[in-house]
Amino acid sequence: MVNVYAWPPVAVVARYWTMEQPVSRSRSLITGASYVSAAQRKRILAGFDVAGWPLYSAGYLEALWRFLDGGVHLVRLSSCRIPHGSTVPDDARGGRRITWAVPPQEIPWFVPASPIEWLDGVSLQGTLITSGSFPAVRISGLPTNALVALPGEFLAIHLPAGDEAHMIATETRSDESGVAIVRLVTAPSSGGRVSLGGRETGVFEIASAWPKVLNRLRFPENYGLEFRQVFEDERGPFVEVDPWN
């Protein structure tokens, strides 16, 4: 088993989040025609520039490095918001699941016949359609005549087996009825409860040499870190660990 550590609460000042998409290229010796095809698994590449001195960042990162044991273990990362711009508030773009902390005294619960899901914000339902020849989701219940999503953001579909994140392809506005057609880069497996402006997440290995950061007058320099996505069938099984809470 491989531990997957949560990303610590550090001061990220710059970052990237992009897709590695290897291709195979060949050329016909007879006609000279060029052929290109997808060759290997697609992976997310992520990088962070972390200021060392605020929020105890240098200390958190040095602790993370020791947890990773030189790269034996892995880290879970989530995407940043790629575009810049203002939309309607997030609580109007789909509810986020509420997390719970265990209180000092036990709380009695009565188990219902069906699962209960606690949300912060509205609950939006999405229906799969096509927009032009592209996959899209039709969502109702949004604020009317408003900018609701930006290209490069993610639409999350909340399914029993786990959430799916799909990148939004175009600027999206709702109509006078609060309905929006969100065009996507990839096709979801099904419709269901959705939220806009979510994050893509994955498990990553360190892909750069660990920086040797100097402390100058008690102020550590920045950490530059690069990561490459890995999958459970390659390095698993995964055990999620959060040492920061």
Residue 163 · residue 155 · CB < 8 Å: no
Q: What is the pLDDT at residue 115?
A: 60
Question: CB–CB of 179/136 below 8 Å?
Answer: no
Q: Which positions ≥6 away from 30 have C-beta within 8 Å?
A: none
Question: What pLDDT score was predicted for residue 175?
Answer: 96
User: Global pTM?
Assistant: 0.82
For residues 112-137, average pLDDT: 80
Are 195 and 93 a contacting pair, CB within 8 Å? yes
| More confident call, 117 vs 69 | 69
Tokens of 129: 């359609």
Q: Which domains does the chain have, with CATH numbers?
A: 2-79+201-241 (3.30.200), 90-97+118-198 (2.40.30)
CA dist 98 and 79 (Å) reads 20
Q: What percent of the chain has pLDDT over 70?
A: 88
The first and second tokens of residue 198, run together, are 């979510």
Instruction: Report the C-alpha gap between 65 and 206 in whole angstroms.
Output: 9
For 24-46, how does the pLDDT look when each residue is reduced to its tens digit (9 = 90+)?
A: 878 777 777 787 777 789 999 99
The predicted structure's pLDDT at residue 35: 77
Residues present in the chain in total? 245
Choice among 13-22, 85-94, 198-207, 229-238 with the minimum mean pLDDT: 85-94
Summary mean pLDDT of the chain: 89
What pLDDT band is residue 120 in, cutting at 50, 70 and 90? Answer: low
The per-residue pLDDT for 93 is: 87
**Which of these, 79, 96, 92, 69, lies nearest to 12 by C-alpha position?**
79
